[in-house]
Structure 1
Amino acid sequence: MTTLRKTFYNSFFSHIYIEKEALNYPITKTILAHYPNAAIVMIDHYKDVFNRRQQNYREQKNTPSLILAVNPTTGIYEGSAACQNFGNDNFYYTSGVMNCIYDCEYCYLQGMYPSANMVVFVNLADSFHEILKLLKKQKVYLCISYDTDLLALESWLGYVKCWNEFAVSNKELTIECRTKSASVNQLKTLIPSNNFILAWTLSPPAVQKTYEHNTPSFSNRLTAIEKAIELGFTIRLCFDPLLRVPDWKKEYEEMFTAIFQRIPAKHILDVSLGCFRVPADFMKVMRKQNKESLVLNFPYTSEKGILSYRSEESEEILSYCLFLLTKWIKEDNIYVWKE
């Protein structure tokens, strides 16, 4: 590694590691202009930093570094069976960014990645080329924000705008951008389109305050949804993961009521429901990193390598939340994830 520039700590990323191959990409220059005070470190490969042994995930999460890299693949992958496809065939996802600026206690990323540092793959155009190849053969349903929260990064990254413009130009492509962001200003830079879905993940205020660290409040997310509707966007609501917290029936009933007091149901495309679930091997890492977490150390049961609530517990919370939601949303428009 060679340090090119060393300056004072900046507002978020104190250090930016850059693969030599990634240095001259336009997005690299844009990001560096946004973080002029970051110390720049040149590296040969992002894994030299991201995959180092004996990293402290929790400590890194407090002051993460940014790594700019070139993805050796196109970054387009077939959708996982653990994720909902909302009735769409040809389900894919893309991972242009690894890791998230938020710190949700239940998030599987902390079990999947060896580092809390964030990787941005700067060769976004390669993903576009791969999608165009797929579109010559079939329609495509693409999720762009599973392994990060792209909208939360939009002020300095701009990838949501790029994907949004790509969707507008390719009507056989449907994109979902899932988020917990409340960044209303970033919505104004996007173009509303029927094939570009903004999907907000919502949790009861008590869950947000207890487990979704550094995320916008429940109320602020509703404000962002209201603005998105006003601007004409297609909106999906995601209640996933559902958690069996104390007084969970009361918490979810009050949350649904609060949502539809502010958000007209007619403006919601559809809704998803899913109980907390995580691969067992991820959970081993997550529990080791956060030994005090109540949500991680719940006595889950294992089924086909996935940890979740006992089947009767899952069925109870899914059935109850489905019942509540049908007061506002047609059941045909509610997608329930079940093993």
Structure 2
Amino acid sequence: MKKFSHIYVEKDVKDHPRAVKILEKFPKSTVVYINKYSEVFNRPNQNYIVQKDRQNLIIAKKRHSFVYPGSKLCEDFGNLRFYHTSNVYNCLYQCDYCYLQGLYPSAHIVIFVNLEDYFEEVDKLLEEGKIYLSISYETDLLALDYITGFCEEWIKYASSRDLLLEIRTKSANFSHLEKIEIPPNVIFAWTLLPQPVIDIYERFTPPLKMRLKGIQRAIAKGLKIRISIEPVMYVRDFEKVYEEFVKEVFNHIPAESVRDVNIGAFRMSKEQAKRIERLNEASPIFSYDTVFQDKVFTYKKARHYEEFVAEKVKEFVPEEKVYVFGSQF
């Protein structure tokens, strides 16, 4: 097996029911027991890009820092109490623009199985009032749900809490959740980009047509979905490509089934960009005019790209439902 030939398991969670279920899915993998996930994940002299092609799993226990304040580089949709959490580090997909390759020392996927501790921490935050919580920024939780089952557990948790829960995804795997009850406070946000952009920047992700079919399944179940057009990436014939893309999206998705749309140009922190460039200076993300603005690495024409796409979206969706990241600054 190219992926998951080895599974590293912290001894503290080897008997945890979620760990046992995950291991049952990979009977051919070699299981190695370790004391702490950092023994493997934080080893020196790892190459994220090379390691990505031969990812392994690490099953671990999260011991602190379960919930974080939302990043300023992420859209908060007007929610004052915005947080994110990570049950999983790293992703199955291999997108050139992904900031994770500049964040983590290892490309292996870490799965924290002690969800009960996450739920307890979120409950504490909810004592002070409603929150907006994103659970899928540092991975694609829906794409990994066949391994973890975490989406269903989070949905059941949210059904009895006063919070907005966002599950962001590029996956076409929604059929996995069609049989369960999904309350209106759970938001599925699909990241959509033009197929020419997917072809250049997003390896191993489902094509646009498959993502649209996944959205149609969610809408058929009665959900209002979020469309996330980010990161807007430059591509030859930019205006033509994105105009045709927006038309294709709304030819398949009725506008009345769209909760909102967020649009944001490619961006990441200065430190992450420098690390990625050292790892892969030939990456296409460094082929166009970029700039550092307020410690953020982005396109020189980022605002123009965002506004162009936003104007095309507003032909189908009311302006008050369109969030443009650059307008925050």
**TM-score of the superposed pair, with normalisation by structure 1:** 0.94
* Secondary structure of the corresponding residue to residue 156 of structure 1: helix
Query: What SS does the aligned partner of 1:272 have?
Result: strand
1:29 is aligned to 20
- Tell me, in whole angstroms, the C-alpha distance in 1 between the residues paired with 2:91 and 2:232: 20
1:323 lines up with 2:300 in the alignment: no
Equivalence for 1:159: 150
Match of 2:173 among 164, 183, 194: 183
Distance 2:20 2:165 in 1: 27
What are the ranges of 5 or more consecutive residues in structure 2 without an aligned counterpart? none
- Post-superposition Cα deviations, 1:263-297, rounded to whole Å, max 9, x if no partner, equal 10000000000010011111112112222212134
- Residue in 2 aligned with 1:6? none
Instruction: Give the C-alpha shift of residue 93 in structure 1.
Output: 0.5
- Aligned position for 1:20: 11
- Does the CA contact (< 8 Å) of 2:67 and 2:83 recur in 1? yes
1:305 aligns to 2:287 (yes or no): no
Which residue number in structure 2 is paired with residue 168 of structure 1?
A: 159
Give the aligned partner of residue 212 of structure 2: 222
Q: Name the stretch that deviates more: 68-77 or 215-224.
A: 68-77
- Structure 1: 5+ residue stretches without partners: 1-8
Tell me which amino acid in the other structure corresponds to 2:175.
N
Find the aligned partners of 1:45 and 1:62 in 2 and give their Cα distance: 23
Q: How do 1:219-298 residues align onto structure 2 when only pairs under 5 Å count?
A: 219-298=209-288
SS at match of 2:175: helix
Q: Distance in 2 between matches of 1:335 and 1:298?
A: 25
Q: Name the CA distance, whole Å, in 2 between partners of 1:192 and 1:201.
A: 20
Quote the Cα distance in structure 2 between the aligned partners of 1:140 and 1:297.
39
Is residue 2:79 matched to residue 1:91? no
Per the normalisation by structure 2, the TM-score is 0.97
1:115 aligns with 2:106: yes
Note the aligned Cα RMSD (angstroms): 1.2
Alpha-carbon distance, 1:211 to partner:
0.8
Q: For residues 262 and 297 of structure 1, what CA distance do their matches in structure 2 show?
A: 32
Q: Secondary structure of the residue that 2:285 maps to in structure 1?
A: coil
| One-letter identity of the residue aligned with 1:188 | E
The 8 Å contact of residues 96 and 284 in structure 2, kept in 1 or not, is answered as: no
SS at match of 1:199: strand
Partner Cα separation in structure 2 for residue 24 and residue 74 of structure 1:
23
Measured after TM superposition, the shift of residue 77 of structure 1 is 1.0
Percent identity over the alignment? 40
CA distance in 2, matches of 1:294, 1:155: 31
Query: Is 1:136 aligned with 2:127?
Result: yes
Q: CA deviation at 1:131?
A: 1.1
Residue of structure 1 in register with 2:48 after alignment:
57
Counterpart position of 1:4: none
Deviation (angstroms), 1:81: 1.0
* Alpha-carbon distance in 2 for matches of 1:320, 1:225: 24
| Corresponding pairs, count | 327
Deviations 1:201-238 (A, max 9, x none): 00000011111000000000000000110011230000
1-side partners of 2:221 and 2:176: how far apart?
Answer: 12
8 Å contact kept, 2:94–2:202 = yes
CA displacement at 1:251 relative to structure 2: 0.8
- Is 2:175–2:217's contact at 8 Å kept on the other side of the alignment? no
Which residue number in structure 1 is paired with residue 93 of structure 2? 102
Write the distance in 2 (CA, Å) between the matches of 1:212 and 1:129. Answer: 35
Q: Aligned pair 1:82/2:35, yes or no? A: no
